[in-house]
Structure formats: C-alpha cells, structure tokens
Amino acid sequence: MQWVAAVGEATNRSVAYVGGLGEICGSSLRLLILSPLKRRRMLGRAVHEAMAAGVGAIPIVTLITFFVGIIIALQGAYELQRLGATQLVASLVAISISRELGPLITAIVVIGRSGSAFAAEVGTMRVTEELDALKTMALDPVAFLVVPKFLAMAVMVPCLAIWADLMGVLGGALFGVAGAGYTFSGYLLATRDALLMRDITSGVVKSLVFGIVITAVGCQEGFSTGAGAEEVGRSTTSAVVISILLVVLIDLVFTLLFYLAGGGA
C-alpha cells in the first residue's frame, strides 16, 4: 500500500501549498486595509510594478493574440465554408477570444514574464539575506514586496486581457476582410452583434483571479527558496509550472460555473 501513502503525502503537500497561498493573500489584504500609513508607499511601488508587469507585456501580448485571432479565423473558415456558414467567422473569433483565449493567453504570457520574475526577485533576496535586512529595518517583506505586486497585477492583467481581446478581434478581421468577404466595418458590426456583455466580463473576472494567483505563487516560491543560486532557478521553474497548472484549473472551474449559470462560457 505504498502508493496510498504516496498519494496521501502528495495531497497533504498540495493542501499545505494552497494554504500558504491563502495565507500570503490574506496577509496582503490585511496590510492593505489596516495599514493606512504604509498604503502610500505600497501604491508608489505598485505603479512601478504595473509598468514592468503590465506595460512591458503589451508588445508580446499584442503579437500573440493578433496571430491567434488570424489562426482561429483561418481554422474556423476552413470548417465553416463546408457548411456554407463562412459569415460566422466573426462570431467564432469574438466569442472564443473574449471568453477563453484572451484571458488565458494573457495569463500565460504574464506568468512567463512576471510570475517567474517575482519568484527570482524574492528568491534572490532570500538567498542574499535581504529579506532579513528588511525585517531588521522594521520593514515587513510582505508589505514592501508582495502587496505592490498584488495591486499591480490585479489592475494590469484584466487590462491586458481586454487589450488581448481587441487584438484577437483585429487579427480575425484581417482574415475576414482579406479572405471571407467582409468589409472592415461589417466585420466589426458582426463582432458587436455576436458578443454579450457577459462574454467580456467573464474574461475580465477570470483574468483578475489569474493575476492574483500568479502573484501569490511567484512570491510563495520566492519566500520558500533554499540556500544557493541553484535554488533560485528551482523556485523560478516551479513558479511557472505551478502557475500554469493553477491557471488552467481555475479556468476550468470558472468555465464550468459560467456554463451551469447559463452563460455558456
């Protein structure tokens, strides 16, 4: 029955890890609400984090989602033209991008850029004992490092997801105008008619949760970094892998909830 013990141990580690994520989120929220004197400093650092995590990700998010929009339009048109329904390409691209692919692709890009950077930054500070130095100077590492990251990601990831939706639609419009007989204005009108407000809001809600999870995992891995440069690399790799896994699982849960609620998303 060795496998039962292994499963139990893995389950125990997973529950403890999720508990650690909840603890770091709760501590950050408590500091943000109950520490008005530190709030201005947190907001100042959050602006810096937002520039690095959000604005810096715009070019790569733009390219990826624009190309994904073209790919979806091409693949969809290939099947839809067999049914004589090529006019539905705009609806296919708009719904798939806004509900699912826009937030998910954005999250994966942010994980690669920012989630790994958070783990490396905090992990390096732990290895070089800078976290202990912060405590010596009466600075809470969570307030100084984690809360600004949460604020920045909670704002910028939804904004990036909305931008990704727009770029995906424009990518689909490029094919729609060039190969599906649309005019540009006609394609945009078809997109507007296909989308409901819940399609966009569901993606924004997902991306907000994704941003919080990415930050929590990156910082948690950084704080748990062991001694040595090799451990920093391990923490960075773990942050990326675990973040992607949790983002996909959370996306599945949200999709199921929206489906059961009648949203079909």
Element (H, E) at 256: helix 229-260
What local confidence, expressed as pLDDT, does residue 80 receive?
A: 78
* Tokens describing residue 71: 């790919």
pTM of the model: 0.88
Measured CA to CA, the distance from residue 79 to residue 101 in angstroms comes to 19
Largest CA distance in the chain: 70
Measured CA to CA, the distance from residue 221 to residue 235 in angstroms comes to 5
Instruction: Give 69-121 pLDDT, tens digit per residue.
Output: 999 998 888 877 777 777 788 888 999 999 889 999 999 999 998 999 999 98
Helix 147-179 / helix 58-80 crossing angle, nearest 10 deg: 40
Burial group, residue 12, by CB count within 10 angstroms (0-12, 13-18, 19+): exposed
Main-chain dihedrals φ then ψ at residue 26, nearest 5 degrees: -65, -40
Instruction: Give 151-187 pLDDT, tens digit per residue.
Output: 999 999 999 999 999 999 999 999 888 877 788 888 8
Do residues 65 and 174 make contact, with C-beta atoms less than 8 angstroms apart? no
What local confidence, expressed as pLDDT, does residue 31 receive?
A: 80
